[in-house]
Amino acid sequence: MSRPAIVDLILERCGQHPDRVYVRFGSRNVRWAELVGSMWRAANRLRAVGVEPGNRVAVMLPNSPEFLFAYFGALAAGAATVPVNTAQRGAALEHILHDSGSVAIVVDDSLRHLVSGELTVVERATLCDGEANEVDLPPGASSGLGILYTSGTTGPPKGVVAEGYDLAPIQGLLELLEISLGETVYTALPLFHGNALILSAMGSIWNDWTLMLAERFSASRFWDDIRSSGAVGFTALGAMIPILLKQPERRSDPDNPARVCLSAGCPEWAWDEFERRFGLRLIEFYGMVDHPGYLVNKEGRAGSMGKPFGSSEFRVAEDGELLMRHPRGRLTHYHNRPDATEEAYRGGWFHTGDLARVDEDGFYYYLGRKKESIRRRGENISAWEIETAVNRHPAVQESAAHAVSSELGEDEIKLVVVPRAGVELTPEELIEFCKGNVAEYALPAYIEFRDALPKTGTHRIQYAALKAEGITPATWERPLQRGR
C-alpha cells in the first residue's frame, strides 16, 4: 500500500529543512527531523503491540507533541486514527472505543485508568520507545478510514467517516490568511478536534509553517503566547473572542505580531472592537466535520458567516435549517449509524442542524442550533439570540440559555451566567438589561450565577448537562412567574 500523502509530505519537509522547527510547545521546540524520528518510533511501537495495516488506533492525549507523534505514527504504520476527547468518561468513552472498533489506544498516563477491556494500551511515556526505522507497508493493504467523533452534547457521540473529503476549499481558506512559508501560527484548540488538527497541525505541514501549540485556551496567557512565539495568525472558536475582549484593556493590546484571526462564531458586536483593539484582521468561516462545505466571510461584514466558498451549495430550508450539498454527493457517513446518515442526507441535502438566514446579498447569518430552541407562549426562541444579547452586558463573561419544564405545558427559560471576575451583578439588573435587548416572551424566568459553564473540549456548551440539572437551590426565580 502507498503511504498517506500527509506522511510523504512530512518526509519531504524534513528533507528540505530538517533543523527548522515544526511545532513549539512551551519550552519544547520540535524540529522536522525530530518529528520524523518520533513518527517512525511511534509507528514501530504500534506495530510491536500488534497493530496491523487497516486497523484503527484511538489517540486520547492532551495537546502535546506526543499527540502528533501518535497520530502521524499510526498513519505511517498503515492504521487509521480515532482522536478521542480527553474529557470523555464512562459510557460515552466506552461507546467511542467499542463503536470505532479500535484495536489499540495511545493514552495519557493520567487517563490510563479510564481504559479497560481488551484494548491494547500504549502509554504516552512509552510511545516513542520503538526503533526509528522506516515502516514498510505490504502491497495492496488498505489503511481504512479514520473516524472523528462529534461532541455528543445531545446524545451518544456519532463517528464521522469521510470517504473522500474535499480538501481544496480548506487549502483555499488557509491561503486567504496570507501567511508566508516559515511563519508561525498559533492554536489553543484541542488536537482531537478537526479545527486544530486539520487547519492548524496539517495546515502547517501543507503550507510549511511553524505551529505554536498551547496546552489549552487561557485568556490571561493568550497574548503573551502570541508575542513570545511571534505568531502572525491564530484560530478562534465560539466564546473565545468575547472572553478575550472581556479581559482588562491594556495600552499594549495592539502591540502583538498577529495579523489575522480565523474565527468561527464571532458575535457581530465583538467584530470591529476585536480588530481595532488587537490590530488585526478577522476572517469568519463556517464548516463542519460532518460534511465538506464552507461559508467564508472575507469581506468583513460583521456578524455574517459569509458566502459559499468552494464547490458546495447552501440554502435555508422553510423551517430555517441550514442545508448544504456537495456536487459529488455524499462524501461522509456516520459510522454504524445508517439511520442517522439517511436522516442527515434526506432530500439530497445535508441537514446541518443549525438555524440560519441569508440576506439579499447572499451573506449567511447563524441563528443557533435547532435542538437548542425553546418553545414558550407559542413562540420558538433560539438560545443563541438570548445569549448573544446577554453576553453584551459588561459584567457578563458568558452565558447559556436552556429550556426547563413549565407548569403551563411549554418551556420556561433558564439563563446560566458566568459573571466577570470581581464585578457585581444581580439577577434583577440582568433582567432589566434583557428587557431592552430581547423580546418580552424571551425574558428568562430563572437565572443562576456560576463560576463556569460545562463545556466540551472544543468550547461548546454542554446544554444537555444544564438541562439535566434543571432548577437548583442556587437558581433565582423572577417574581410573578407562577401562574402566568
Q: Are residues 57 and 178 in the same domain?
A: no
Residue 211 lies in a domain: yes
Residue 163 lies in a domain: no
Q: Are residues 307 and 433 in the same domain?
A: no
Residue 154 lies in a domain: no
Q: Are residues 382 and 313 in the same domain?
A: no
Q: Are residues 360 and 388 in the same domain?
A: no
Domain boundary among 302, 335, 369: 369
| Domain span at 100 | 5-146
Q: Are residues 348 and 414 in the same domain?
A: no
Report, as ranges of residue numbers, the positions in the chain whose pLDDT lies below 50. Answer: 482-484
pTM: 0.86
HEC secondary structure over the chain = CCCCHHHHHHHHHHHHCCCCEEEEECCEEEEHHHHHHHHHHHHHHHHHCCCCCCCEEEEECCCCHHHHHHHHHHHHCCCEEEECCCCCCHHHHHHHHHHHCCCEEEECHHHHHHCCCCCEEEEHHHCCCCCCCCCCCCCCCCCCCCCEECCCCCCCCCEEEECCCCCHHHHHHHHCCCCCCCCEEEECCCCCCHHHHHHHHHHHHHCCCEEEECCCCCCCCHHHHHHHHCCCEEEEECCHHHHHHCCCCCCCCCCCCCCEEEEECCCHHHHHHHHHHHCCEEEEEECCCCCCCEEEECCCCCCCCEEEECCCEEEECCCCEEEEECCCCCCEEECCCHHHHHHHCHHHCEEEEEEEEECCCCCEEEEEEHHHEEEECCEEEEHHHHHHHHCCCCCEEEEEEEEEECCCCCEEEEEEEEECCCCCCCHHHHHHHHHCCCCHHHCCCEEEECCCCCECCCCCECHHHHHHHCCCCCCEECCCCCCC
Looking at residue 483, its pLDDT comes to 42
Domain boundary among 89, 111, 146: 146
Domain boundary among 93, 116, 146: 146
Estimate to the nearest angstrom the gap between the alpha carbon of 190 and the chain centroid.
7
Residue 152 lies in a domain: no
Task: Tell me how crowded residue 176 is: count the other CB atoms within 10 A of its CB.
Answer: 15
Residue 29 lies in a domain: yes
Q: Are residues 132 and 190 in the same domain?
A: no
Q: Are residues 185 and 302 in the same domain?
A: yes
Cα atoms in the Cβ-side hemisphere of radius 13 Å centred on 357: 4
Longest dimension (CA), the chain: 74
Q: Are residues 381 and 365 in the same domain?
A: no
Q: How many domains does the chain have?
A: 3
Q: Are residues 137 and 77 in the same domain?
A: yes
Q: Are residues 137 and 10 in the same domain?
A: yes
Q: Are residues 251 and 349 in the same domain?
A: yes
> All 3 cell numbers of residue 74?
499510526
Q: Are residues 218 and 345 in the same domain?
A: yes
Looking at residue 484, its pLDDT comes to 43
Residue 153 lies in a domain: no
| pLDDT tens-digit series, residues 227-261 | 999 999 999 987 799 899 989 999 999 999 999 99
